[in-house]
Chain A
Amino acid sequence: MKVQFGSRIRATGAMAAVAVLAVACGGGNTPGTGGVPKIGVVLTYNLPGFWANYLKYEDTYKTQLNVELIGPKVANVEANGNEVAQQILDVKSLIAQGVQALIVNPADSSAIAPALDYAKSKNIPVVTVDVAPDQGSVYMIVRADNTAYGTKSCDYIASHASSPGTIAMVEGDLTSLNARDRADGCTKVIASKYPNFTVKSYQTKNWGTDPAVQNATTALTAISNLRGIYVHWSVPEDGIIAAMKSKNKYTDVGAANHIALVGNDGSPHECDLIRSKNLDATIDQPADKYAYYAIYYAKQAIAGTKYSAGQATDHNSSILTVAGNLEDGLAAPLVTLAGDAGATQVNSTDLWCNNK
């Protein structure tokens, strides 16, 4: 009890700081007891650009949804290497600070289980964002269908190629379910729909930018019938384009014998690259919707709302079951300049890249 009392004082201190900021916006100076739900946030920074944008949206939506967010506690993947242990500590410390629900982006699909079990033992509901845990129970997973990322990306490359050939896939960190799903989606759609194409995979540890560019560079050299490069995330794209240019293998999107480049994330910079015909396509991984629905479901969890598998949502998705947990599989469209064949046009205001 003493511990909890002590931490409550600390939490109040933190809230007082938040309240000072809130006064300017007309918020009252009554920390803690005003009925505003308190939600703890635990993130990783495995894709820095994406999460930086996520945090920006989180700031907007916490006011809109009237919740108080504590955190984010960030375990940095590239710098530490012990991020899972860090996340377990973060979860415990936030619960000790009296949060009523948690938003977690697990650094590892399996290793997050002890943190989830701990939260469950304290009756604190957890919403995971972007990553589905392999085990442990959560209230809701807010995530896009990552298998579809791979399917749509490689389908695009194969269907736009002038003749059959090879697709180089620069994979993200395969310890994450997201990278595995994207890889699966790509290889499966090529195997089933485009038997004349082959996929050559290059793995990248820790989503490292430099190794990814190096992998793509090797692919450009090693594969003579290269039709396209599918890179699982956006950061290496500029480097890959530079590598194509230095090897005289670069052409604008739409040119004859063009080697396609498709990334995933849907960042503002990617949308610029698509407009300037440097990048063929991306997948809009909706940072804004991730932030909104993570908070939304955390709030619903505190209110005690129940969801069930198969239920349709009001935002063009439905509730699925993933490893025993419910998931709101958010729509993540392919984004291209033409915007045909089911893709979204790059200037659409539905995309988070245009929603600055």
Chain B
Amino acid sequence: MATTTRVATRQGAAGRVALRWFRELTLVPVIVLLMIGGAIVNPVFFTTSNLIDVATGGAALGLVVVAESLILLTGKFDISLQGTFGLAPLLGAWLIAPKASEGLGTEWSPWIGLLIVLLVGLVVGTFNGVLVIKANFNAFIFTLAMSILLTGLQLGWLGGKTVYHLPQVYIYLGSDSWFGIPAAVWVTTLVFVVAELFLRYHRVGRAMYAIGGNLEAARAAGIRVDSIRIGVFMVASVLAAVAGLMQAGRVTAVTAGQGSNLIFGVFAAAVIGGVSLDGGRGRMVGALTGVILLALVTNILTLSNISSTWIDAVDGAIILLALGVARLIGTERT
């Protein structure tokens, strides 16, 4: 086990822990401000039903944010997660939907469709991981090219058609509810919790921080640096594929444009949530606050009936504001 990690753990005295929590929660004041704003804009904002809408709206994004954050922690990143988010559910849907809903017409069992979604994620993740880590391609340009390729396949494969009217099993994750709360929200919450615990307590999770913090030191400490980094790429892509399935289930269709421009929101949520682009720093709790913030902004803008042409500008301004707050408090140092 890496000495650096052990030292860091030993330093985790009560004061430090408090400080770290404080840093993870820098966005909380911004979120509180937004909630007050939301309540002023529309009294409906603080109803259970609306807050569930917010959570549902952010669920798929949140899953991709977990995926991207894991990669960011190890000091790399993957832009093609948005391509996987679109292509994986599209391929699955295409193979199981009847011809009348723009499927292939083979009408395979939806379970096979689900398997294909996971498989696409796994294949893309392995490919990215091996080539970025082992062949040492630049992560930015390589995954950007992958992203363009995947989005292009998604468009070209069906000539831009939307596959719709998908079977119940396939849309279950995105459309069903457990105890009055959408399954998507439960699943994303669970993934956040598991990721946080894994990073904090599991040997590999702590090794990821060590890798992102100082790669050579981690290697010298005997951590299997490459396998872990490739593994992270694989897990992240599978998560992105599942997130795509979640989104497809919610709108019960897969469009040729699903996932386009998603990655900007993903990076924004991770970074304003305190995950460093340089690797080695950040926690899932922080990333979660980033997701909550973005989901709240979308909801409040919708409730306020602001013209859609202004939504991007407002979105950008709020992300900048959040970055500013994070900078002032000192979490964001990149």
Contact B256 A45 (CB under 8 A): yes
A residues near B220, Cβ cutoff 8 Å: none
Judging by beta carbons under 8 Å apart, are B256 and A48 in contact? yes
- A217→B295 CA distance, assembly (Å): 14
Partner of A48, one of B161, B250, B251, B302: B161
Judging by beta carbons under 8 Å apart, are A202 and B305 in contact?
Answer: yes
Q: Which stretch, B3-11, B45-53, B283-291, touches the partner chain A?
A: B45-53
Shortest Cβ gap from A41 to chain B (Å): 14
Q: Taking the complex as formed, is B170 at the interface, i.e. its CB lies under 8 A from any CB of chain A?
A: no
Is there a chain B Cβ closer than 8 Å to A239's Cβ? yes
Flag whether A193 is at the interface (Cβ < 8 A): no
Residues of A within 8 Å of B13, CB to CB, are none
Q: How large is the interface on B (under 10, 10 to 19, 20 to 34, 35 or more residues)?
A: 35 or more
A residues touching B (Cβ–Cβ < 8 Å)? Answer: 45, 48-49, 51-52, 55, 74, 76-79, 174, 200-206, 208-211, 213-215, 217-218, 221-222, 235-236, 238-239, 241-242, 246-247, 268-269, 272
In the complex, the answer to whether B56 meets A217 with C-beta atoms within 8 Å is yes
Decide if B303 touches A222 in the complex (CB within 8 Å): yes
- When distances are taken between beta carbons in the complex, the residues of chain A under 8 Å from B308 are 174, 203-205, 211
| Interface residue B102 (Cβ < 8 Å from any Cβ of A) | yes
B299-A242 in contact (CB<8A) = no
A241 to B250 alpha-carbon distance, docked (Å)? 10
Return chain A residues, CB-CB under 8 Å to B307.
203
Q: Digitize B20-59: 1 where CB-to-A-CB distance is under 8 Å, 0 elsewhere.
A: 0000000000000000000000101001011001001100
Output the nearest chain B residue to A77 by Cβ-Cβ distance.
Answer: B257
Given A49-B162, A49-B164, 7 additional A-B pairs, CB 8 A? A77-B257, A174-B308, A205-B308, A213-B251, A221-B44, A222-B50, A238-B252
Task: For chain B, residues 92 to 140, give those with C-beta under 8 angstroms from any C-beta of chain A.
Answer: 100-102
CB pairs A–B below 8 angstroms (14 shown):
A49-B164, A55-B159, A78-B255, A174-B309, A202-B305, A213-B251, A214-B302, A215-B302, A221-B50, A222-B42, A238-B252, A239-B250, A242-B175, A268-B100
Q: Please name all residues of chain A whose beta carbon is closer than 8 Å to the beta carbon of B42 when the two chains form the complex.
A: 222
Interface assignment of B298: CB less than 8 Å from any CB of chain A: yes
**Is the pair B251, A205 in contact by a Cβ cutoff of 8 Å?**
no
Chain A residues with CB under 8 Å of B177's CB are 246
Contacts of A238 in B (CB 8 A): 164-165, 251-253
A161 to chain B, nearest CB (A): 21
Which residue of chain A has the shortest Cβ distance to B60 in the bound complex? Answer: A210
B160 touches A (CB below 8 Å) = yes
A239 and B251 contacting across the interface, CB-CB below 8 Å: yes
In contact, B155 and A76 (Cβ under 8 angstroms) = yes
A-B complex: 6 closest residue pairs judged by Cβ atoms = A78-B257, A203-B308, A239-B251, A238-B252, A45-B160, A222-B44
Provide the B47-81 mask, 1 if CB < 8 A to any CB of A, else 0.
Answer: 10110010011000000000000000000000000
Closest to B177 in A: A246
